A and B are shown apart, each in its own frame.
Chain A
Amino acid sequence: MTGWLDVPRGWIDSLGEIARFGSRVAGLVYSGRVFQFFGESLRQAGILVLGSALIIWAFVFILGLNCGVIGAYFSRSIGAPSNAGIFSAYCDLREGIPYAFGYILSAKVGTGIVAELGAMRISDEIDALEVMGIEPVTFLAATRLLGAWIALPFLFLVGVGVAYFSSYIAVVEQVGDVSSGGYLLIFWTFQDYVDVLFSLAKGMVMATIIVLVGCYYGYTASGGPVGVGTATAKSMVVNIIMVHIVGMLGTLIFYGSNPRAPIGG
């Protein structure tokens, strides 16, 4: 019997499959069994740094420019152009950078993993690994997760700096309603190290989900070259939705009850 319930059921089915696969991979990392392939993990971390770092930072740079321009004109519109720092501090650190990080990771790293593992799957290389006595989930998925956990926090923190720099350019140099010192005073007042940790937590949860979703769709790809392309497209749908949901829940948990703003008592 086919009814309208089949579509949501299909969604929930595949989410459950992804969760099962993901917890298996995370379990392999936590139990330390991934460390038999520690060299491969380091290689994956290296690939992330060499292949994705510049693109992540370029994207975050553009996001910082956007936040800066919108913040500068918004604060001009309320008649307080010297307070552009509030908008860019919030837009960069608290919200924008995790989202930009999630977008570009799902575009670059997530689909990259699907393409790579999917090509291995349909040319039967994964079965060959199993025949050789190497556990494919550990060797292919768990090493990538560990590699991401090794490399991505540093890329994220450098990205925060890149976005600060570009917001400064947009607010102070491009729009120019506020002096450099006035902008930076407000900008640094409206953030502290806890905000950086919250932002990093959001970004890393997104990154973990993106890597696991990518590994799942690549590992289960089927149906020839078309199948790899379709799996890549499907992984992007799941990643986009998950990035936004993680971002919203993060804001709700970290700032929902306490805006953490240095205003009033």
Chain B
Amino acid sequence: MAAETIVRALLPAKTFFEEVGEMMILTAKTLASIVRPPYPYGEELVGQFLFVLKLSWFPMTISTFALCFGAPGLQAAGILDLFGTLDRLGGFFVVTAVRFIGPIVTAAVVAGVAGTAITADLGARKIREELDALQVLGVDPIKNLVVPRFLALMVITGLLDIFAIVFGITAGMAASLLYGEPLGGFFATLFTNALIADLWGSVLMCTLFGGIIAVVCCYKGMTASGGPAGVGRAVNQAVVIAFLAVFFFLYMFTAILLASNPELQTIR
């Protein structure tokens, strides 16, 4: 009786570790398939790339502008205005828009918009037993379905991050103008404080986010089960796991980047 209770209490933990392990195995298989010839995934890669771009660009621009205008823009401008140093807003935007908000908004939009679409697509194929049919035909689902999505999401998340930074800084300009401050000071502190390490850190982080999102969403889609309700449930779980994984990775990456690059810790 007691043993049964313990087993039942630990069941969520067991499921969790099993799923994490299976996602790791999927990642390893995907990485192996990327380098091992043949390379049949070129067309699908371009298709997925354009698909993700088409879905994500509009939510991404609006979301980054809104988040950067509200959170670092108005809040920080309010405080800096009290000190009379509104030109420092540009330097503050390097810390927030480049290091923090650009990546999280890109990841949230790609996971929420493209990741859900990928899970829904693969889940529907799994439910209609198309994936099994592909395997019978001798087509490897990992090589032909997961690899192009993995590569496409990695590339596009990194590239969208640059657009997120651009729109975030536009929002900072808007906040600066709202307080009646000319933009010269904003750009002066922005460009003095922006280092190339910030930019590569941000883009590299987003590229890895894309990989995480692709693996989680493909895994959940390819293991969907239980009819129509199962696809919806798979999408739900995929986006929750992707959000948690991405934010935890962001924390680890930021802590390591900032602690190991002391030149990012001085203000100029």
Contacts and interface: CB of A to CB of B under 8 A. Distances in A.
B76 to A, nearest CB: 8
Contacts of A115: 229, 231-233, 235-236
B257 to A, nearest CB: 9
Contacts of B34: none
A62 B245 CA distance: 10
Given A62-B244, A70-B95, A240-B112, A119 B229 contact: yes
A224 B254 CA distance: 43
A163 interface: no
Contacts of B250: 66
Given A236-B113, A240-B113, A261-B78, A229 B119 contact: yes
Nearest to A120: B229
A116 B232 contact: yes
B62 interface: yes
Given A107-B243, A115-B232, A230 B70 contact: no
Interface string B111-129: 0110011011101100110
A263 B82 contact: yes
Contacts of B59: 237, 240-241
B239 interface: yes
Nearest to B96: A70
Interface of A is mostly: helix
A70 B113 contact: no
B78 A236 contact: no
Given A59-B243, A263-B79, A263-B82, A247 B265 contact: no
Interface residues of B, number: 61
B20 interface: no
A250 interface: yes
Contact of A108 (B81, B109, B236): B236
Contact of A62 (B236, B239, B247, B266): B247
Contacts of B78: 255, 258-261
B113 A233 contact: yes
B71 interface: yes
Contact of A225 (B71, B228, B243): B228
Given A174-B255, A229-B123, A232-B232, A70 B239 contact: no
Contacts of A245: 62, 66
Interface residues of A, number: 65
A111 B235 contact: yes
A89 to B, nearest CB: 10
Nearest to A251: B70
Contact of A118 (B100, B119, B228, B248): B228
Contacts of B188: none
A234 to B, nearest CB: 9
B93 to A, nearest CB: 12
Interface-centre pick from B67, B96, B119, B234 (highest chain A CB count, 10 A): B67
B99 interface: yes
Given A77-B267, A225-B127, A241-B63, A111 B70 contact: no
Given A66-B100, A240-B108, A73 B258 contact: yes
Interface in A233-265: 233, 236-237, 239-241, 244-245, 247-248, 250-252, 255-256, 258-261, 263-264
Interface of A: 55, 58-59, 62-63, 65-66, 69-70, 73-74, 76-79, 86, 90-91, 94-96, 99, 103-104, 106-108, 111-112, 114-116, 118-119, 122-123, 174, 224-226, 228-230, 232-233, 236-237, 239-241, 244-245, 247-248, 250-252, 255-256, 258-261, 263-264
Given A111-B236, A251-B70, A256-B74, 19 more contacts: A55-B240, A55-B244, A65-B251, A70-B258, A73-B258, A78-B267, A107-B239, A107-B243, A112-B233, A116-B232, A119-B232, A232-B232, A240-B109, A240-B113, A244-B67, A248-B67, A248-B70, A252-B70, A263-B82
Q: Which 6 A-B pairs have the closest CB atoms?
A: A115-B232, A259-B78, A229-B120, A251-B70, A119-B229, A233-B116
